Structure formats: C-alpha cells, structure tokens
Amino acid sequence: MIPTLTFGRTGHQSTRAIFGAAAFWETPQKEVDATMDLILQNGINHVDTAASYGLAEQVLGDWIRRHGKQFFLATKTDQRTKQTAYDQIRRSLDLLHVDQVDMIQIHALHEEPDWSTAFGPDGVIEAVTQARDEGLARFIGVTGHGVPVPEFHLRSLAQFDFDAVLLPYSFMMMQNQRYAENFNKVLAICKNRNIAVQTIKGITRSPWNDVQQNHTTWYRPLEDQADIDLAMHWIFGNPQVFLNTAGDINLLPSILASAHRFESRPTEGQMLELGERLKMEPLFK
C-alpha cells in the first residue's frame, strides 16, 4: 500500500506519491484513460496539473467529464497579474470540467521580477485570493524550481499564508549547501504552520547533457527499478514531504511499485554509491 500523509491544513489524507499530470503534456486520450485507471488502481488520490502543461488540463478534464472527480485536484496559474491569472483560472476550471479545484497554485515563482509583480498591486496573489473567496478553489499554494526557490518560498511565506509549497528535493540537490540550508528553513516553517510540502524532480539522474532524450521528462531520469527505489525511499524517509511523480507515463509503473515498497530511508553510503555509480548530477546548480 502506498503510504499516506495529511496534506497540511487541508485535512486531506493524500498518498505521498502525488500524480504529476505534466506527464499528460502531449498524451493521446486513450493513454490518459489507461494511466488514470492505473493510478486509481494503485490508490493514488491526489492529482497535480497546470495550465501550462500542454494538453494536460484538457485530456484530464475529458476523463473527469466521463468519470467524475475522484481525487484531490490541484492546478496552477503561470500568470503574474490579477486579471490574466483570474481568466486563466476560469479557463482551467472549464477545461477540467469542474466548478472548483481543491488547490490553485502560483506556478514557478522563483525570479525577482515575477515575485515583485505577483505580490504587487493587481498581482496574481489577488487573483488566487479572489478565486478562493468565490469558491473556485479551496486552498492556495506556491511552486518553484531551481537553487534559489527555497529563498523565494521563505519570502512568499512571510508575505502570504499559503497552504502548500512545491520545490525540488533529492539526495543530490541536498548536497548543495545553500539549497539544503534554505530547504530546511522552509521545512521548519511549514511544519510549524501545518503547510503541505510537495517535492519534484525526485528521480533525476542528471540533466540530459549530450545523452539522447528517451523520456518526456525535463531531465534524464533514473530507469532501473532498484535505483528508483533508492531515490524515492530516500525522499519518503523524510516524513514531512510528498513526491510528485515524473512527467512520463512510461516511468509511472516503476514509481508506483517503489512507493508501495517503501519501508525505510537508505543510508548516506547507499546514496553516495548510487551517485558515483551513475555519475549523477543535480538538475539545478
């Protein structure tokens, strides 16, 4: 059974593996339907998508139209100003065939101009607040990528009482002292305020570099089951975090199998051996 954890103050008992619907970017509807069957058969009860994930909202919405919303549903807006973000949120609801999402997230808020606009007059923060007040979304989150994102999350959490954050997390990322120090500060604040912590890029092997790309992920992923187990079990070994699954439906069976098998965190020695054997690199430097 895939372990579950209360998703912060939302009270939802979410599976610690959250389905990342970025995997539906250009996926035919037939494959989307089969994937949704797979995640439900495995007990996944939390799905995360975004307006900017290609066709993801559309194809996921077509499934919801036929089967109903059977899970905690989160999406994201990548707009920075109030009206454009609000319009995008309404479009997301239409595409998803729902009157309300469980969570709307401000997407990829990890650069200074974006952050200043988002929290300034007529910024996106006003749009997500309005969406919550109108019942279009129940909760509000913020996401980001890259080494500076924990620092931006700290600023965002000081400015607004978010219900969830999302950011990269892996053994390799935590070897970056700057990243690890600020990530742990975010964890402490989230624990104190009962804010859910979602993590991404958990099975990254390295950037693609000169390797021929054979997956739809933004990074070269781990592929062998034993290697995926080590990476995922290291993440699950932190009892505070969730892991959003990788953006490739072909990796999903291995990820789900690993989530079912979790018992304990691998040792530092095991993780160092994995990194050396595969010449692993963090995606963000």
DSSP conformation letters of 77-103 = E---BHHHHHHHHHHHHHHHT-S-EEE
Given this model, what pLDDT does residue 16 score?
98
Q: What is the pLDDT of residues 248-283, one digit of tens each?
A: 999 999 999 999 999 999 999 999 999 999 999 999
Q: Would you say 257 and 201 are in contact if contact means Cβ atoms under 8 Å apart?
A: no
213 domain residue, yes or no: yes
Amino acid (1-letter code) at residue 284: F
d(CA 190, CA 242): 13
Domain contains 91: yes
Task: Identify the pLDDT of residue 281.
Answer: 95
d(CA 25, CA 215): 12
Specify the CATH number for the domain of residue 204. Answer: 3.20.20.100
Q: Is residue 204 part of a domain?
A: yes
pLDDT recorded at residue 155: 98
pLDDT value for 169: 98
Judge whether 97 lies within some domain: yes
Total structural domains within the chain: 1
Instruction: Tell me how long the chain is.
Output: 285
Query: Mean pLDDT for the chain?
Result: 98
Q: Which residue(s) pair with 140 in the sheet?
A: 104
- 284 part of a folded domain: no
What is the pLDDT at residue 54? 97
Q: Is residue 283 part of a domain?
A: no
Tell which residue, 18, 40, 11, has the closest CA to residue 199. Answer: 18
Tokens standing for residue 85: 């973000």
Whether 80 and 118 have beta carbons less than 8 Å apart is answered as yes
Q: Is residue 159 part of a domain?
A: yes
- Domain residue limits at 221: 4-278
Is the residue at 216 inside a domain?
yes
* Nearest-angstrom CA–CA distance, 202 and 172: 9
> What is the Cβ-side half-sphere exposure of residue 240, based on CA atoms within 13 angstroms?
18
Tens digits of per-residue pLDDT, 81-130? 999 999 999 999 999 999 999 999 999 999 999 999 999 999 999 999 99
**Which residues neighbour 238 within 8 Å (Cβ) at sequence distance 6 or greater?**
169, 187, 265
pLDDT for the residue numbered 266: 98
